[in-house]
Structure 1
């Protein structure tokens, strides 16, 4: 029984997965004013922002692969098999819709309803919030098999259904009535799209015909025909020019001019596979496409003649990777060669640093291609089976050498220029039908050593591409296919293995054999750790051996794999050897103790592995998987207890990691009300919170006299000739109308009573009430609404000379003490207190009760400032230390 998962590695993320054959879905976030693209990738879907094509959200995993996607303003809908799930925040499943008996193939959100169709001819209208069935329609697949669905613009509660037989039907989903049947064009409908004009829709057929049809009049306005097979997708341009784009199964996109009724432009080989989806952004000259070639592309229409060019893209391998290797000493880039023939670089930091070095070509120069009369497809090189890279001289000449399947000549690549190099390294006098099988680049980056299936090992200069000799007598180093090559760190020795079960040691300069070691079995792969001088060999009998290149003896032997060992890698310190095999296990061997210390299973067999030069990540590539998977080294994060595992150890299965959103792009586009973060009024008792008022409201309180003196007018104001009517308002920053005084004209007196003169302001009354209740929030809110001049008047009127009383002075001091105790509005408390002491210090000194409260306030001020000063000093010291360490 399995005893546990990996104690050394944990799944982190996958690189290079973007899209599959499922058409994408679009969302527009009104608050962010940005378009978001939703694409499916296996059991998850990814959300990208169109502006940068950065991934912002990854959904939770479903039980099966996603078959179709749809999105509205609030939710994303994904169908997997017979189940439909709605996702909130692009991640969490909030509702599941059960009811279909066959696989769901079409989804259409329509207001509060969701319309779905399956392969059995059943169409269900769901209530999105409740999850129950609102309407259910059943069609006979032999007479009307639903193949496309669309909501015509301005048609309330109406949907247009297209069939594989060619007919169209317009239904009212509220009354469950068939309104009209369109006879069609004797071809199956593959796409339906609303045009910018009302009542006009675009219809794509299985014969490649594109019909622009008026459904109100049942009249065909125009039609086009593409020669590339069925129409996969349709989209109308809405930013001005009347253009409709159609995608094809061959990866081409055609742009049709609706005014001239002709082909305006075409984009050939936009994708390596069929165009799954193509959508014009509303009001912008941008077209977004995705396909099964694991690519998302944004095209912009700024070319003469209406053509498009590629603006930005995210693309990975369209076929599973074969070999992966870390490039450079920082461990941030991974080179990957796939079965699609491309060589790509994936960044572990951010996707914008990814590079696509392209596809190998027999002849790089375009002029020679034209002279040969061959197409680009015919000149493509086969997939790369092995490659080696060096960073020492990559800015001066090519630093990557690759071997191709069934091809004798090796190619050079430039990582610095992100393109294929100019050299084809082919050994002179090689046997016909042989091919390059192994390659290595020296640590200095000047030479490449290439082994072939005929037993030759040749040396080339990377700067010039010239042949610099070969190992062995007569140009033959081995009697079988060379399966592994490596050169030590100082270019003294070269090590080679072949199918003749021999490990040979060669002098690099003289190219003479110095020693040979007979192996117990046929070796499959070879890996050298140059710093420690340890050479790892994997044999066809599933065993491993470690050879010391100094003593030239086998120092360790390992057995345990039950399948062919595909690849292996050393840890940066040379202590561990990580191997992957067809038995779906990833094993870590400890060289000093000679034991297995970690082993875990994966669902799919790994074909290649690479350990980061910094030791933080382990990268793996798997059978039939397009991505490069990263595993975190737990030993760098904390103590890990590694013990020798027994020979009968049964490993447990680890889940293959999925995609995670980039930290700097992490934002969940949702317009739900609960998505808005509400900050707390106070974060902690030892912290203080400043007010959100502008500095002009409190910073100038102590300088009001100078401001009035400086702003005094030089001439007296002159009244206007005729004063306009206005409504009386109350003083303050917030506009408030004053109510007219309702007094009887007969009882009106010109003598003011004494009580009117003694009436207190609203702030004074609120301050008295707050002193009795103990809550000083109401008077504080009144002060925040006042301007500097009005606030100065209110504080001046607190004394008995201004119509106040000594109790109001004591209440104001208590209000400031309450603000400091809560730690809120720290800046306002100091500004108000400074103005208060400037105006009433003499009156407070004569009041014993107010003086006692002021002394308590002084103690609290000193304590609060001591805590803040300690925090400031600690932060400044930490900042100074960090700056000095960086310098």
Structure 2
């Protein structure tokens, strides 16, 4: 039967993705006066500010992985295969450039043009605004394979092209003419970079040679040789010292002095993989680098001798994570062990709380001998296969114990100091070839129980690192590999399971066997929910078994996975069991009902899962993916109807968080227009909008008579002695002179025609009956002061020169204001003054009373909705305050 995705979890965001092998692009925002670095992450790119390396924006996803990036003052250009896309505001696609027949590998913005080169030899010059092809050049890849592009400074409409054969060509893209050909240096060109000096460029080659060449005179000024392979990136320092930085495929960076023509210093293992990009900030002693090791680093040159130190860093796993667990009881930190051998902590709140506990070393004493001949790889421990953490005593000693691939000794780690601990826990007299396979820390945080492939289960004291005994006769708990270990809340029981199909219950203190249970298949892993006493075991036949450790009986059996079950986790209340398997499904089992209540597919198989102790986020790690994916628990946000799923349920594919495709076509905006936000006139039908007028314009309308009486002068104002002329003004916000009428004479008796003259407000109010729009009369009322407003409302009645129809039209205007939700404060103030002036006459008109009754019901309904929103917001605010306290 068809399915509609997950009813319990929805994708939220991805953690730990920062960079890949694509060189970064650097932007400078004139208005913000800040540098931004743009890095590619799969099908989208991330924008970080260099000052704090905080993420600013995440772009919408493209159909394929990004192969190269470029940026100018207004736009970011990203190439995916043969398609080039332009992004505005670091997020939205505003233009596509489609014309290449091969994969695009080079991009160069140049004013109003964009130059792109593909692997087939085509170089196209695009008009950025229109997306049309301005010029197309074709090169034979066998003789001139374009491998680098650069625009020489002060060379108008000129582009310098480098080839993998070694030759360079200078082209005029406006006239489509080849100006000059440089013979090259018998090595393929990998990088072209403009130096601070005019006419001088830096050329990086595939043989590791760096050439500083004057293209105007065709003269080589100097050259350097790097011993680490091809030059992957070049950058010149522009804040004073004549320095050039070069990157290598091994992750090293070299800094060369152009005056003394020698090597200044070098940073080995600046990145774990090849240096994808290295760029000096304009006029600052700061270098920004990124690499395929999923890291962005900012270096500052403030050391003696011209050396640099690491200033800021954002990094994740350089190889896919294999095991993840939530650390602590607040659910804000996730510990992750990756195939790169590192142990890292990712925060779900903010990236600045991320921690890198580093890479384990074989021995601290050997590490000090690193400079005496031992290589960097010889000191590193292999990847972590399993670990356990506890926060109970982490302030006193190490709170993390980890098992490593093909090693019997387990390591301890300190979360607060972000370092590897001092203890290497290894059982005495162990068998040769045995390795540690399972680990668990007791709830008190004092002991670690470790199982090995030879069947041993040993207990260690975490404070001293001493061995405190082992389980089983002949120091052997199982006749096979130990697959899982768990201890209960009170340290009364130790539960172990192995490849011998047995689940055993041991007394923790005496280490005696109490009972053993025969399983239907060999268990692959085990998970205990200490609060409820429910023990879940994943078997090799793709089934699940739940055992109650109190009664020591199997209480639930689940079947449905079609691949190896990789990991599982309990909900905080012990009601749900979430499992992930190689069949690419994430399933949620309800233990009280014994049924499957949620199931969905993902694109790649999940290898590990962890549900936060607060139950708000589900974290998953996937095959060949460097990030940790967070899924929100919908049941915490509102009612979720869960029902048992049938046996033939076909799950639907859920998109991994952070990779949704969203394409929009808009015009290219300038940098200044990007920052201007136009607020909507009305956000929603259930919300109201205030007028933003000063309170003095509407708050005192009901008390206008009292204010006039209080402000009445004691003595009448005296007329001026002599005035050359007198021009009367019309009351209102904008000063205007009153126009003289033809009826003005020397007589002091006014003509009735002057009194019966209608104001602009009454005229526009009458015309609103035909147009149906009350915007113009409302605009006139907003311009009136409190006194003028009172006069306008008084003139609506027949005794004031108006008519009964005008009173009905004014009621319709107030009704339209309440219906639209705009000018909420003015509508109530105008209505209050209107009823105060004309309620006696309106009560004698049946039509007017019917309109007022309709208006009253609209007022009550609108206020009820608004009051409900107020109550909900106040309740949520009170809950948040109590949670923080």
TM-score, normalized by the shorter chain, greater than 0.5: yes
Which deviates further from its counterpart, 593-602 or 223-232? 593-602
Contact 2:166 2:188 in 1 (8 A): yes
1:182 matched to 2:182? The reply is: yes
Superposition pairs of residues 460-499 of structure 1, within 5 angstroms: 460-499=460-499
TM-aligned CA deviation for residue 365 of structure 1: 4.9
TM-aligned CA deviation for residue 89 of structure 1: 2.1
TM-aligned CA deviation for residue 180 of structure 1: 0.8
* Deviations, residues 546-585 of structure 1 (Å, cap 9, x unaligned): 1111111112212222211111111111111111111111
Once residues 79 and 604 of structure 2 are traced to their aligned partners in structure 1, the CA distance between those partners, rounded to angstroms, is: 24
Once residues 38 and 367 of structure 1 are traced to their aligned partners in structure 2, the CA distance between those partners, rounded to angstroms, is: 36
Contact 2:437 2:453 in 1 (8 A): yes
Superposition pairs of residues 466-865 of structure 1, within 5 angstroms: 466-636=466-636, 637-646=638-647, 648-658=648-658, 671=671, 673=673, 676-679=676-679
Distance 1:373 1:216, change over 3 A: closer
Counterpart of 2:338? 338
* Deviations, residues 748-778 of structure 1 (Å, cap 9, x unaligned): xxxxxx9xxxxxxxxxx99999999999999
Counterpart of 1:319? 319
Once residues 595 and 439 of structure 2 are traced to their aligned partners in structure 1, the CA distance between those partners, rounded to angstroms, is: 30
Once residues 630 and 535 of structure 2 are traced to their aligned partners in structure 1, the CA distance between those partners, rounded to angstroms, is: 25
Once residues 135 and 506 of structure 2 are traced to their aligned partners in structure 1, the CA distance between those partners, rounded to angstroms, is: 78
Counterpart of 2:456? 456
TM-aligned CA deviation for residue 645 of structure 1: 2.3
SS in structure 1 of the partner of residue 306 of structure 2? coil
TM-aligned CA deviation for residue 869 of structure 1: 13
Counterpart of 1:406? 406
Counterpart of 2:52? 52
Counterpart of 2:129? 129
SS in structure 1 of the partner of residue 474 of structure 2? helix
Once residues 767 and 6 of structure 1 are traced to their aligned partners in structure 2, the CA distance between those partners, rounded to angstroms, is: 58
SS in structure 2 of the partner of residue 305 of structure 1? helix
Once residues 61 and 881 of structure 1 are traced to their aligned partners in structure 2, the CA distance between those partners, rounded to angstroms, is: 37
Once residues 683 and 65 of structure 1 are traced to their aligned partners in structure 2, the CA distance between those partners, rounded to angstroms, is: 36
Contact 2:74 2:669 in 1 (8 A): no
Distance 1:214 1:533, change over 3 A: same
Distance 1:274 1:175, change over 3 A: same
Which deviates further from its counterpart, 408-417 or 334-343? 408-417
Once residues 539 and 613 of structure 1 are traced to their aligned partners in structure 2, the CA distance between those partners, rounded to angstroms, is: 25
Distance 1:781 1:257, change over 3 A: farther
Counterpart of 1:85? 85
SS in structure 1 of the partner of residue 305 of structure 2? coil
SS in structure 1 of the partner of residue 619 of structure 2? strand
SS in structure 2 of the partner of residue 644 of structure 1? coil
SS in structure 1 of the partner of residue 504 of structure 2? strand
* Deviations, residues 311-353 of structure 1 (Å, cap 9, x unaligned): 1111000000010011111111110000000000111111111
Distance 1:113 1:554, change over 3 A: same
Counterpart of 2:76? 76
* Deviations, residues 581-640 of structure 1 (Å, cap 9, x unaligned): 111111222222222222222121111111111111111111111111112222223322
TM-aligned CA deviation for residue 127 of structure 1: 1.7
SS in structure 2 of the partner of residue 673 of structure 1? helix
Distance 1:332 1:127, change over 3 A: same
* Deviations, residues 727-749 of structure 1 (Å, cap 9, x unaligned): xxxxxxxxxxxxxxxxxxxxxxx
Contact 1:2 1:650 in 2 (8 A): yes
Once residues 625 and 507 of structure 1 are traced to their aligned partners in structure 2, the CA distance between those partners, rounded to angstroms, is: 41
Once residues 373 and 267 of structure 2 are traced to their aligned partners in structure 1, the CA distance between those partners, rounded to angstroms, is: 22
Counterpart of 2:110? 110
Once residues 195 and 101 of structure 1 are traced to their aligned partners in structure 2, the CA distance between those partners, rounded to angstroms, is: 33
Q: Structure 2: where are the runs of 5+ without partners?
A: 661-667, 698-745, 747-758, 789-799, 802-812, 827-855
Distance 1:46 1:884, change over 3 A: closer
* Deviations, residues 109-133 of structure 1 (Å, cap 9, x unaligned): 1122111111111111112222221
Contact 1:610 1:618 in 2 (8 A): yes
Aligned length: 825
TM-aligned CA deviation for residue 877 of structure 1: 9.5
Contact 2:2 2:651 in 1 (8 A): yes
Contact 1:686 1:867 in 2 (8 A): no
Counterpart of 2:853? none
**TM-score normalised per structure 1:** 0.80
Once residues 825 and 650 of structure 1 are traced to their aligned partners in structure 2, the CA distance between those partners, rounded to angstroms, is: 52
Once residues 364 and 694 of structure 2 are traced to their aligned partners in structure 1, the CA distance between those partners, rounded to angstroms, is: 64
Once residues 683 and 594 of structure 1 are traced to their aligned partners in structure 2, the CA distance between those partners, rounded to angstroms, is: 45
SS in structure 1 of the partner of residue 352 of structure 2? helix
TM-aligned CA deviation for residue 262 of structure 1: 1.7
Contact 2:332 2:347 in 1 (8 A): yes
Contact 1:495 1:503 in 2 (8 A): yes
Counterpart of 2:247? 247
Superposition pairs of residues 136-155 of structure 1, within 5 angstroms: 136-155=136-155
Once residues 599 and 619 of structure 1 are traced to their aligned partners in structure 2, the CA distance between those partners, rounded to angstroms, is: 15
Contact 1:58 1:659 in 2 (8 A): no
Counterpart of 1:850? none
Distance 1:543 1:374, change over 3 A: same
TM-aligned CA deviation for residue 265 of structure 1: 2.1
TM-aligned CA deviation for residue 256 of structure 1: 1.5
Counterpart of 1:26? 26
* Deviations, residues 92-141 of structure 1 (Å, cap 9, x unaligned): 22222222111111011112211111111111111222222111111111
Counterpart of 1:229? 229
Contact 2:89 2:674 in 1 (8 A): no
Distance 1:870 1:124, change over 3 A: closer
1:257 matched to 2:264? The reply is: no
Contact 1:767 1:776 in 2 (8 A): no
**TM-score normalised per structure 2:** 0.80
Superposition pairs of residues 56-67 of structure 1, within 5 angstroms: 56-67=56-67
* Deviations, residues 25-54 of structure 1 (Å, cap 9, x unaligned): 122222222222111111111111222222
Q: Structure 1: where are the runs of 5+ without partners?
A: 661-667, 698-753, 755-764, 786-790, 795-805, 808-818, 829-862
Once residues 671 and 136 of structure 1 are traced to their aligned partners in structure 2, the CA distance between those partners, rounded to angstroms, is: 29
TM-aligned CA deviation for residue 644 of structure 1: 3.1
Once residues 291 and 208 of structure 1 are traced to their aligned partners in structure 2, the CA distance between those partners, rounded to angstroms, is: 18
TM-aligned CA deviation for residue 473 of structure 1: 2.0
Distance 1:877 1:452, change over 3 A: closer
Counterpart of 1:270? 270
TM-aligned CA deviation for residue 204 of structure 1: 0.9
Counterpart of 2:740? none
Contact 2:686 2:865 in 1 (8 A): no
Contact 2:20 2:294 in 1 (8 A): yes
Once residues 825 and 651 of structure 2 are traced to their aligned partners in structure 1, the CA distance between those partners, rounded to angstroms, is: 62
Distance 1:135 1:487, change over 3 A: same
Counterpart of 2:833? none
